[in-house]
Amino acid sequence: MQKQSDQKGYFLQYLSLAPVLAVIVISIAFSLWAIFNFVFPDLLFHPMPYTNSRKV
């Protein structure tokens, strides 16, 4: 009977740890995305200038 209560305790520890891990992983992923987007800006929102100037 002791094993079943131990399993419940481990499961509750896992449930309390899962949101913490999720926040950490999402924060790391967002930080990496932001750094990558700072170094290599999105061309949709930051278009490169024309290399050939068109004469009007």
Residue 29: what pLDDT? 97
Instruction: For 34-56, give the DSSP string.
Output: HHHHHHS--TTTSPPPPSSPPP-
Q: What is the pLDDT of residues 1-54, one digit of tens each?
A: 567 778 888 888 887 888 889 999 999 999 999 999 888 877 776 666 666 656
